[in-house]
Structure 1
Amino acid sequence: MMDGLDWIAVDWGTSNLRAWLMAADGTILDKRSSDRGMNALSRDGFEPALLDLVGDAIGNGPVTVIVCGMAGSRQGWAEAPYRSVPSAPPQLSAATRALVHDPRLDVRILPGLKQEQPADVMRGEETQLRGIFLANPGFDGTICLPGTHTKWVQVSAREVVSFRTFMTGELYALLSANSVLRHSIGEGWDGEAFSEAVSDAMSRPGSVAGHLFGLRAEGLLRGLDGARAASRLSGLLIGLELAGARPYWLGQPIILAGASDLSRAYESALSAQGAAVERLDSEAVTLAGLVAARADMKETAT
């Protein structure tokens, strides 16, 4: 076993797998990742994927592995049933124990949260929320978690009151790679083009579909730069999202926690609307939530 290894924290997403090898005092001994997310695995592939990533570190075991994310979905390793909102982020006592063949592994999968009306679900984000609550224990307001499926979450008294998911990141990926716009979208960033597109989408959301094709037309007729086209595409989609999510952010303090570049884009768009925004590191709050789940286990033992 790796010297000092006490447990392993895992964030298992749709596309990627991340693991932190942890000491008992909370020190990160190592961080590892792979592209073997849920979409790349059948149910019997999760245990081998985990062992391929961390098996050399666990020695003779046993080692506790605490998992958040899509490993607990219906198509994942073992389904961890959702908890209904309003709710605090679930503790380890609500986790599902995954069936394993290797006796060195003790795998606990945290559940997600569900909302009946309007219908919505989250997996993995609930663990980020727990980490955010630890960093901001008195926060009441809105938490935005930008990503492939961005979450807008209303929180009060360290509970999730309601939330709404927007597929903005997935729409960007589909349009930029699998639509006619793939011929126009390039690398780079143009902040002015982004801000203008956000404003256009928020003020005239019904025109967004036309503005989208306009990116292709401008590329053909005016030589629209690829970076400018990409920034405008992002701005149109995020602006459309902000128009739809207005009840969540208008007049509310907002915490953003996502990948740095994406969070900066959301911060720019929200700040232009006069919103008060605090930005946190998504990886840090995810790990903090998993560490809190490990602490649940220690408290139960005592």
Structure 2
Amino acid sequence: MDLSNLFLSCDWGTSAFRLRLVERESLKVLAEESSKEGNAATAELWKQAGQPAEQRVAFYLAIVQAHVRKLEEAAKTSLDEVPVVISGMASSTIGMLEVPYKPLPFATDGSDLAVKILPATPEFMHVVLLISGVKSDDDVMRGEEVQLVGCGFENTAEAQLFLHPGTHAKHVLVQNGQATTLKTYMTGEFFSLLSTKGILAASVEEGGKLDEGANREWFEKGVHASQETNLLHNAFLVRTNDLFQKASKAENYFYLSGLLIGSECGDLQANPPARITLAGEPTLVALYQAALRTLGLDRQSAVQTKMAEEVTLTGQAAVLLHHLGELRQP
């Protein structure tokens, strides 16, 4: 195993931790570990530990080290001196070390993202490349900027859109090799609140798939309704759909999803980009792809889809390549 061609990819979000041993050139994943040790839970453990502030980085890296040991067992070799690339919330106020946001614009090849290099120590034998997030005058993101880099956008004057579905969906406009504007939509969080809290929770049921039964039909009804009348009124129809037995609870789940995703994506109709790249988890990507099709946006914009793991690894590898010289300095 050529250790010089490896890196440790750490995708450390608010609620989850994932570490992969990756071949840098092929991006082949050789081993993987994940847990629920997200930055929010780790920050709470750090707070309870009551340790001096200067020990915070070491406290977080101890979690990384425990997972590195498991990867070493899987790979049957020591991984000392293999660099660790960390993206996500680890560079935030709840992470190991707060790194200032990179102000927009930023290069889509990842060459000018804000990073912090942490040298190897006797306790943690890996140099760390900690990638920070991006901000506009009124918006922020952490983690998605690396995924945008991993999408490989063309350097063209045509407007291209990076659309990352999630709890806080991100829309980033790309032109001439630069990410220039950022908008966050709280679509996933609103959906979670409406489907689990309050009066609508009793009228929806999770667990179905988009292409089961009439789920897609009800999802498309939600998307169409989002363009025709007010969202706050439409949301109440989730209750009356159930009350009047117009839709099953599973179908209602997709109707509510269509309402919210349609409301988000409807903003694109006024000025559709030349291309839209959907990048994220498969289930969400499929829903957004269906919404764009229902709205007719796929006829105005070329739509391509990419999975979260692919773009995360590709983006991290690209940023790592730009800083390899710095990481190798004694």
Q: Which residue of 1 aligns with 2:49?
A: none
Conserved in 1, the CA contact under 8 Å of 2:11 and 2:88? yes
Matched, 1:212 2:232: no
| Paired residue type of 2:218 | A
- The answer to whether the 8 Å contact 1:145/1:151 transfers is yes
Deviation of 1:286 after TM superposition, in Å, equals 0.8
The match for 1:47 is: 61
Aligned to 1:236: 259
Counterpart for residue 97 of structure 1: 117
Tell me the equivalent position of 1:79. 98
CA contact 1:78–1:96 (8 Å) conserved in 2: no
Deviation at 1:170, TM superposition (A): 1.1
Tell me the secondary structure at the aligned position of residue 105 of structure 1: coil
What residue in structure 1 maps to residue 7 of structure 2?
7
Q: CA deviation at 1:24?
A: 5.2
Is the Cα contact below 8 Å between 2:32 and 2:71 reproduced in 1?
no
Structure 1: stretches of 5+ with no match in the other structure: none
Work out whether residues 152 and 245 of structure 1, in 8 Å CA contact, stay in contact via their aligned partners in 2. Answer: no
RMSD: 2.5
Is the partner of 2:204 in helix, strand or coil?
A: coil
Which amino acid is the alignment partner of residue 132 of structure 2? P
- Between 1:19-28 and 1:29-38, the stretch displaced more is 19-28
Task: State the 1:93 CA deviation.
Answer: 7.7
Task: Give the aligned partner of residue 134 of structure 2.
Answer: 113
Where in structure 2 are the equivalents of 1:27-38 lying within 5 Å? 27-38=28-39
- Residue 203 (1) aligns with residue 263 (2): no
CA 36–75 in structure 1, closer or farther in 2 if over 3 Å, else same = same
**Is this contact kept in 1: 2:106–2:113, CA < 8 A?**
no
Q: Is 1:260 the equivalent of 2:279?
A: no
Question: Distance in 2 between the 1:93 and 1:124 partners?
Answer: 11
Alignment CA distance shift 1:268-1:93 (3 Å) = closer
The answer (yes or no) to whether the contact 1:38–1:76 under 8 Å persists in 2 is: yes
Judge which range, 40-49 or 5-14, deviates more. Answer: 40-49
TM-score (norm: length of structure 2): 0.81
Q: What residue in structure 2 maps to residue 63 of structure 1?
A: 82
TM-score normalised over the length of structure 1: 0.88
**What amino acid is aligned across from residue 199 of structure 1 in structure 2?**
H
The match for 2:316 among 284, 290, 294 is: 290
Decide whether the 8 Å contact of 1:175 with 1:182 is kept in 2: yes
Contact 2:165–2:284 (8 Å) recurs in 1? yes
What is the CA-CA distance between 1:236 and the residue it aligns to? 0.7
Report what 1:273 is aligned to.
Answer: 295
1:101 to 1:74, Cα distance in 2 relative to 1, 3 A = farther
Q: Give per-residue Cα distances to partners, 1:65-89, cap 9 Å, x unaligned.
A: 1111100112211112111112215
Q: Which amino acid aligns with 1:250?
A: P
Distance between the aligned counterparts of 2:17 and 2:276, measured in 1?
A: 28
Q: By how many angstroms is 1:61 displaced?
A: 1.9
Q: 1:226 to 1:101 in 2, by over 3 A?
A: farther
Distance 2:87 2:130 in 1: 6
Q: How big is each residue's C-alpha offset from its partner over 1:2-59, in whole Å with a ceiling of 9 and x where there is no partner?
A: x544320111111111111124544422122111111211154522321232234454
The AA in structure 1 aligned to 2:116 is T
Counterparts of 1:49 and 1:197 in 2: how far apart (Å)? 43
Residue 154 of structure 1 is matched in structure 2 by: 173
1:246 deviation in Å?
Answer: 4.1
State the percentage of identical aligned residues: 30
C-alpha displacement at 1:132, in angstroms?
0.8
Alpha-carbon distance, 1:210 to partner:
2.1
How far apart are the structure 2 equivalents of 1:101 and 1:92? 30
Cα deviation per residue 1:274-301 (whole Å; 9 max; x = unaligned)? 3231111221011001111221233555
Is 186-195 or 267-276 further displaced after alignment? 267-276
Runs of 4+ in 1 over 4 A off after TM superposition: 98-101, 136-140, 299-302
